[in-house]
Amino acid sequence: MNDSIFNYAKIGIVHSMAFPNSIESESSYINSLKEILLDPFFSVVEIGKNPFDTLTYIAKDLIHLSKCDLTYSAHSRLFKNKLNANSLNEELRKETVNELKRAIDEAYALNAVNFQFLSGHWQESSKKQAFEALCKTTIEICDYAKKKGSMPICLEIFDYDIDKCSLIGKSELAFEYYQRVKEFCDNFGLMVDLSHIPMIHETIENHLKPIKDCIIHSHIGNTSIKDKSDIAYGDNHPRFGYPSGENDVKELSEFLRILLDCGYLNKTKKNILSFEVKPLDNEDPKIIIANSKRTLLEAWQLV
């Protein structure tokens, strides 16, 4: 593709993943956020609950000044509080809904352009009941969000048997879930992540095509699943080109081509395409970000 990727997408990055040490201090958080905001390659920064409450609206102001968009992820809230959107324990499910509503309130206060969450753990014996519980939770939070404004809600598809072990992983179930929720909510969609596709045991094409009309957000990254002893094993988002990794230029190019063919990447509405990459021990975050940008530009040329 000779035309610029910037004509088809808003390029973003997940702040906490790119700079895992940002949680160490207030200065680390602000300085790393500025690294992203000072880079014109990015027009979107993805954040979650601020580890330093006093910096929440300072970060918002910095993002606004930079003319970047902001997306909000509730993942850390769910992980930290051991919550589960598809819990069969109704008390825990309601607690999860309440936490997600608090997260939605914060996302609106930050002027987030979308809101992300994920499904929880499940068991084969109660999979159908967990599915119903997740649909119930999703409809409740979508209704809540719509009463407050127009921010869309999206569920990120994760692995179902390797790391996060989330209910919504396989594309067939993801599509069924999307259809169910969309019967009641028009402010809902799915997030796809290139790094999760190998963990779901599907090809890029077989994963994306069934849900091509459901996608409202996308992440790009890598994973390592060949060796459980590998430091990057699982949902750890190592750099592109990682020796035991699954994704590099070729895979990213295929991912982009399908997103282009299905209309997610387009010139009329430039949707978000965000890096989710994480430096391993002793790797420089700035180098890993540069690696990611080069990989994207090279992959786009092959589309």
Question: Are the C-beta atoms of residues 70 and 106 closer than 8 Å to each other?
Answer: no
pLDDT of residue 51: 95
Please name which of 22, 239, 88 lies closest in space to residue 231, comparing C-alpha atoms: 239
Which backbone phi and psi does 243 adopt, to 5 degrees? -50, -40
pTM, to two decimals: 0.96
The C-alpha atoms of residue 197 and residue 203 are separated, in whole angstroms, by 7
Residue 216 to residues 105, 113, 123, 269, 272, Cα–Cα distance (Å): 21, 11, 28, 11, 8
pLDDT of residue 267: 95
How many structural domains are present in the chain? Answer: 1
Q: What is the pLDDT of residues 233-290, one digit of tens each?
A: 999 999 999 999 999 999 999 999 999 999 999 999 999 999 999 999 999 999 999 9
Averaged pLDDT score across all residues of the chain: 97
Handedness of CA 116, 120, 124, 125 (dihedral sign): negative
Q: What is the pLDDT of residues 203-220, one digit of tens each?
A: 999 999 999 999 999 999
> At 55, which CATH number?
3.20.20.150
Residue 147 has pLDDT above 90, yes or no: yes
Q: What is the pLDDT of residues 119-130, one digit of tens each?
A: 999 999 999 999
The C-alpha atoms of residue 275 and residue 290 are separated, in whole angstroms, by 11
Residue 126 is part of which domain span?
A: 5-301
